[in-house]
Amino acid sequence: MLRKIFGIAFYIMAGFFLYSVELLAFLNEPMYPIKLILLGVLGVLTVVFTVIAILIYRSGKWRKNLGILLVSASGFCVFVIFSFFCFLLTPEFRESIPDGQLTLFSNYGSGFLFVGVIILVGVMLIKIDNKKDKVI
């Protein structure tokens, strides 16, 4: 029981780090060395916490769990970006932001491409695990 609780906690931490990586993909600042370092560190932390979660949780359905992690973290990222975009549509919010800060999360092309690939991989992992259950 305690092993399952710790496994879920590590899945949650892995999801947070994956969400952070996906959110950084939308960042449009020309600080590429810093952005790449942050992406690398957060990506490594995502992989480490995911592997620990899979090893601790010890479920035979690790593909399905990993797919759910990928889809849910990506869905939350899309929700946050959509909310930010909706805030940008209101004039009050635009006036409260200092000049030059409005374009901080404006790299929508690469961001949605990256999130879309993560969602696609997650859905494929879920589908693969579901087909495996039907065969057996």
pLDDT 10s digits, 51-78: 999 999 887 788 899 999 999 999 999 9
pLDDT in tens, 14-35: 999 999 999 988 887 766 788 8
The reported pLDDT for the residue numbered 59 is: 78
Nearest to 26 by CA among 86, 82, 100, 90: 82
Q: Which residue has the higher pLDDT, 133 or 27?
A: 27
Asked whether 102 and 94 are in contact (CB, 8 A), the reply is yes
pLDDT in tens, 82-111: 998 888 888 888 788 777 666 777 788 888
